[in-house]
Chain A
Amino acid sequence: MVQNDKTRVLANPEASNWGAPFAAHAPKHETAAEELSRKRKSAEYQTDTNSYPPWRQTNKQNAFEDRISYSPTDKRQRIDFKNSSKSKANLEMRKKRFEDPRSGYASSPSSRGESPTPGPPSGPVVGTCQNLEKNYFRLTSAPKPDTVRPLPVLMKTLDLLKKKWKRDNNYGYICDQFKSLRQDLTVQHIRNEFTVNVYEIHARIALERGDLGEYNQCQTQLRALYAQNLGGHPTEFKAYRILYFIHTRNWTALNDALADLTPADKRNHAVKHALDVRSALALGNYHRFFQLYLDTPNMGAYLMDMFVDRERLSALAAICKAYKPDVKIRFITEELGFESDEQSARFILDHTAEDLLQEKDGIVKLLTGGRAAQLFEQAKSEAHRVVDIKGQI
């Protein structure tokens, strides 16, 4: 599923600006789910223990509803650069860059204690740093120009990151670098097609790795950027947005997303697909839903993988109530988009009892009826509890 999807994305010139295919290994479904689970837990833990200094808390008041920014884990900050050989000058530069944020951090409270510091200088920073790679640190004061990379350097950085992602597939490193890249764009007030491109690429990589918090941050920014008509692929991301709200079961936000669509948007293939997915689910048409699932444009399948099992449980609850006395496992496999009879059998056994699958004359059947219906109904209810997602909305 994921492999086919990736091929389709790469074959579609409109979908992505990436110059060449990246050879990422398709994560197994269980593995992806586990990673997502761990990632989410890690993010929540990080948020709880991250105590902001007082002036930082003041800034947070600017956000109206609770907006949680995803902060990098310690592991990410400790990532070593691949190319270990650096000239002495580069090492000096690196050391200086590491020290600067800390010294800024240290000086702020005493300065504030003595007398109120005037606000940060208005207007963008003009960067002078020439390094292609830079670790991400949260800003605690106005950045120094020599730690910020100007646009031509950032363009080279993006090229480098694309190559590294294709070659190394190291998500922790790539996420750290992209956040740094985004930050340099922000402090220089750069908003152009390049900016859109950066956010789109980061969003797609985050989607592929199931990092919904990071994806959500990028997607929020993209909405604002698209509103300024700077280019990019707005309909691709509008489709993701709809699928995302299906995943989070946020019906209010979903209605808003529908209200935002123009007639031209609705004719776009990816958006139309997402709308059809939503409609199929609303009506319980699991047959159509799984047909759509197997034919998802761009990278939408990564999002649909987040809720496809939930919908399989819904479908099985309906099937067990409606069909008697049994159905063939092959029917389940084909109807619910499984890759094999073995996969669908395993899924059924994960949620019910072993004796509900019976083999006779070489044919495996699921015994539908009261008991199976009850078990799937139970599993469905648990799966449909509201999803808690960190990140900006």
Chain B
Amino acid sequence: MDTILEDLRLGHHKGSGRHLAAALTPIDTPRLPNRLKSFYKRWPAAQVPSNIRQCILQAPARDSPKLPKQELNAWVDVFTAYWRAVGEIVQFEDYSSRASWVKVFDAWKELANILIRGYSNFGFQAWTIPCLYVVGKYLRIFAIKADAEIASQESMAFADRFQDDVTTDFGKNGKLEETARILNRMFTLCLGDRNSIEESRKWGVYYMTNLLFKTYFKINAVGLSKNLLRALNAQSGDIPPLGSFPKSHIVTFKYYVGVIYFLDENYVEAEQHLAYAWDHCHKNAIKNRELILTYLVPCHLVTTHTLPSRKLLTPFPRLEKLFRPLCDCIRKGDLHGFDAAMSAGEEEFVKRRIYLPLERGRDIALRNLYRKVFIAGGFEESKDGQPPIRRTRIPVAEFAAALRIGTHADDRSRVDIDEVECLLSNLIYKGLMKGYIARERGMIVLSKGGIAFPGTGV
């Protein structure tokens, strides 16, 4: 007996969602390179339902009664639909001209719909929710392939609906949008389950949420992710605590929540969630840790005005390459270098959506530049035996000179004194400098006692 049917039999025999999910996984494996084809070619179409039924019936669950008839019929329908979907997939192995990812997607969508009905109408039990995971996951994968196939074949078609404008949608992600709607139904299935917690589908709620987040991000509908969060928050009393879920579900969830807040420029909240994900992420999940840091570093820059240490980034060469030039310029107060590093990395920063917060690093660079002016100003003459204190009344013109040097301004682009005051007022406003501007005298008066530049020691 081949592995798909074996997993199906074992799944029902042991009450193992993992085996059922393995049966529904639509890929060949190195150990079984003909897994799908042998399943598909095993019987003619007319005999598929009865043989699947037979396979399930061979394995009565050890300690429980036989499956109710409705439930059994529904599982037969699920695996029959799966068989049809596999039939579309193996076309690619045969290099058939009939091979089409759109057909694969449509067949898999039918499977997803039947599976959902199994839970909502025919009593599928909670231990089988790994089936939702695997069907949802591959629905998304097949949708992406189908959309790519469509994009390579079609130009923008005229729609014949009754509409007032030339186009109503760009149609690039049609299958993925369908997927989002189906995943939403799966999510609702999990969230809305009223069974006691031991038998509840609520245990699947974070996996489905994560799958939806991934999909919404892909189709640039991040706003819809917030609807998901609201739904979860509304039901938070009924959902088991985060610590009770598999860690991989929660780390992924926290990562996405962090990114959602990040994109809304709510960096304080974003940092909390990303830091949780970072702290709990598996040490060997290098790829995932790199993803988390991609957003945590800019977040930290905005919220605490601090830069990542060299040690932190060393295990991640790509992040080192991405962030190091910027960090060096910020640390040195090198505005010209900062601007050049932002330009050089712009495409990558925009693609990852971290350009906007990284740009705020310029404030830190500016502070560091002005801090150098302060330090270079030296000390007042000591009086009455008191230890000497730093000069705290500094002409704005000195900061203007520093800015001129720092931005490589030539004679034609003079630095405007009013603009220098503006930049100083912003640093004071943001708490990066402590003091005030006395405009009439053209001076800035900084605080005494080592707090002129809070957090930097002077």
Contacts and interface: CB of A to CB of B under 8 A. Distances in A.
Interface in A233-260: 251-252, 254-256, 258-259
B6 interface: no
B162 A182 contact: no
Contacts of A285: 419, 422-423, 426
B162 A142 contact: yes
A321 B425 contact: yes
A122 B160 CA distance: 6
Interface string A198-228: 0100000000000000000100110011011
Interface string A128-141: 00000000001111
B398 interface: no
B439 A186 contact: no
B422 A186 contact: no
Interface in B399-458: 416, 418-419, 421-426, 428-430, 436-439
B425 A182 contact: no
A179 interface: yes
Contact of B353 (A141, A224, A228, A255): A255
B351 interface: yes
B425 A252 contact: no
Contacts of B263: 251-252, 255
Given A258-B350, A282-B360, A324-B438, A287 B166 contact: no
B429 A331 contact: no
A64 B353 contact: no
A322 B424 contact: yes
- Chain B contact residues (Cβ within 8 angstroms of A): what range? 35 or more
A319 interface: yes
A316 to B, nearest CB: 11
Given A65-B223, A284-B426, A288-B419, A139 B362 contact: no
B436 A283 contact: no
Contact of A287 (B167, B356, B418, B428): B418
Given A285-B426, A322-B424, A322-B425, A64 B164 contact: no
A321 B264 contact: no
A318 interface: yes
B169 interface: yes
Nearest to B362: A283
Contacts of A119: 160
A228 B156 contact: yes
B359 A322 contact: no
A17 interface: no
Interface centre among A220, A285, A322 (most CB of B within 10 A): A322
A109 to B, nearest CB: 15
Given A284-B426, A286-B422, A321-B425, A139 B163 contact: yes
A119 B159 CA distance: 12
Nearest to B445: A324
A57 interface: no
A255 B426 contact: no
A335 B163 contact: no
Given A221-B167, A318-B426, A259 B350 contact: yes
B436 A221 contact: no
Interface in B156-184: 156, 158, 160-170, 177
Contacts of B224: 65
B429 A322 contact: yes
Interface residues of A, number: 60
A289 to B, nearest CB: 9
B355 interface: yes
A120 B169 contact: no
A323 interface: yes
B55 to A, nearest CB: 39
Contacts of B351: 259
Given A224-B156, A256-B220, A283 B265 contact: no
Nearest to B353: A255
Contacts of B223: 65, 252
Interface centre among A59, A227, A323, A335 (most CB of B within 10 A): A323
Nearest to A120: B160
B429 A255 contact: no
A138 B161 CA distance: 12
Interface in B326-375: 350-351, 353, 355-356, 359-360, 362-363
Given A288-B419, A324-B438, A283 B426 contact: yes
A328 to B, nearest CB: 8
A256 B223 CA distance: 14
A254 B265 CA distance: 12
Interface centre among B165, B353, B419, B428 (most CB of A within 10 A): B165
Nearest to A327: B439
Contacts of A122: 160
A224 B170 contact: yes
B286 to A, nearest CB: 26
B222 interface: yes
Interface string B44-63: 00000000000000000000
A227 B166 CA distance: 13
Contact of A321 (B362, B363, B416, B428): B428
B221 interface: yes
B166 A224 contact: yes
Contacts of A21: none
Contacts of A227: 156
B436 A255 contact: no
B356 A321 contact: no
Nearest to A252: B263
A288 B263 CA distance: 25
A217 to B, nearest CB: 7
Given A251-B265, A319-B425, A324 B164 contact: no
Contacts of B424: 322
Given A283-B363, A335-B418, A186 B165 contact: yes
Contacts of A138: 164
Given A221-B165, A322-B436, A279 B359 contact: yes
A63 interface: yes
Contacts of B160: 119-123
Nearest to A334: B418
22 contacts: A63-B169, A64-B221, A120-B160, A122-B160, A124-B158, A179-B164, A182-B165, A183-B164, A191-B166, A195-B166, A221-B165, A224-B156, A252-B222, A252-B353, A255-B353, A283-B360, A283-B426, A285-B426, A286-B422, A319-B425, A322-B426, A331-B439
Given A182-B166, A279-B359, 14 more contacts: A59-B161, A64-B177, A69-B164, A119-B160, A138-B164, A141-B162, A185-B166, A224-B170, A225-B166, A255-B356, A283-B360, A321-B428, A322-B436, A324-B437
Interface of A: 59, 62-65, 67, 69, 119-124, 138-142, 179, 182-183, 185-186, 189, 191, 195, 199, 217, 220-221, 224-225, 227-228, 251-252, 254-256, 258-259, 279, 282-288, 317-319, 321-324, 327, 331, 334-335
Interface of B: 156, 158, 160-170, 177, 219-224, 263-265, 350-351, 353, 355-356, 359-360, 362-363, 416, 418-419, 421-426, 428-430, 436-439
Considering the complex of A and B, which 3 residue pairs feature the smallest CB-CB distances, nearest first?
A: A322-B425, A287-B422, A318-B429
